């Protein structure tokens, strides 16, 4: 939610110069197009290649990584046009789990 709010503020500031635009707002993806089939079939394996300690970090917190990811969004256009990049990404979440730090977003464990 924090990233979405920040992106709206940036878009409002730039609206007079941009006119009408549509953007995908998403954390930058570590995945590449050639991994799409593997993400659908065995997401845990692909995630583990990019973030080797992710399965153990998730398990330590009683969480499970997704077994299948059917969609990956490319937010490079919002970064290129607006200069906006989400502050919250999977790497920051994992770092918080690694260090027992605060998650980089509002989190309700009961949700």
Could you tell me the CA-to-CA distances from 80 to 21, 74, 76, 93, 104 in Å, in that order? 13, 12, 6, 24, 23
pTM (global) more than 0.85: no
Tens of pLDDT, residue by residue over 2-50, are: 899 999 999 999 999 988 889 999 998 999 999 999 999 999 999 999 9
Q: What is the pLDDT of residues 60-98, one digit of tens each?
A: 989 899 999 999 999 999 999 999 999 888 999 899 999
Is the Cβ–Cβ distance between 21 and 81 less than 8 Å?
yes
């Amino acid at each position: 939610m924090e990233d979405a709010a920040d992106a709206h503020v940036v878009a409002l500031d730039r609206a007079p110069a941009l006119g009408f635009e549509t953007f995908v707002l998403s954390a930058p993806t570590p995945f590449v197009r050639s991994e799409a089939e593997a993400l659908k079939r065995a997401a845990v394996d692909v995630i583990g290649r990019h973030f080797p300690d992710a399965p153990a970090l998730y398990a330590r917190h009683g969480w499970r990584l997704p077994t299948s990811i059917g969609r990956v969004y490319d937010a490079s256009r919002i970064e290129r046009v607006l200069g906006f990049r989400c502050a919250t990404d999977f790497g920051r979440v994992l770092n918080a789990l690694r260090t027992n730090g605060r998650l980089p977003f509002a989190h309700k464990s009961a949700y």
